[in-house]
């Protein structure tokens, strides 16, 4: 322990700022990991709800999601100036 003008190193404001920065760097990746874990848990819960509502297996829910994803991307590809009308049209 080093004394700086009557204060220990651990209570010196500069030391506290440095340690706060170090702690922030250590904690920040954990927050991101927790966020991703939370999103994964929410997705899994939503899939389980869909499986229960539609009375299908989780693998079928995954297939439904994949089919919808492919459908949306194919519609986006068609609407990017190829001159074709959409499959459905409503007012």
At residue 57, the pLDDT reads 93
**Predicted structure pTM score:** 0.47
CA distance 84 to 75: 10
Query: Within a 10 A sphere around the Cβ of 61, how many other Cβ atoms?
Result: 19
Give the Cβ contact number of residue 50 at 10 Å. Answer: 16
Q: What is the pLDDT of residue 28?
A: 72
- Do the beta carbons of residue 15 and residue 9 sit within 8 Å? yes
Rg, the chain, Cα only: 27
Task: List the pLDDT tens digit at each of the 91 positions of the chain.
Answer: 444 555 555 566 676 777 777 777 776 766 666 777 888 889 999 999 989 998 999 999 999 989 888 888 887 766 655 556 666 666 5
The position carrying tokens 């297996």 is: 57
């Amino acid at each position: 322990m080093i004394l700086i003008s009557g204060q220990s190193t651990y209570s010196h404001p500069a030391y506290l700022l440095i340690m706060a920065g170090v702690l922030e760097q250590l904690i920040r990746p954990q927050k991101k990991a927790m966020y991703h874990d939370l999103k994964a848990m929410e997705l899994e819960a939503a899939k389980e709800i869909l499986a229960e509502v539609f009375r299908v297996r989780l693998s079928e829910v995954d297939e439904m999601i994949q089919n919808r994803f492919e459908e949306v991307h194919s519609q986006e590809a068609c609407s990017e100036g190829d001159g074709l009308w959409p499959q459905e049209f409503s007012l």
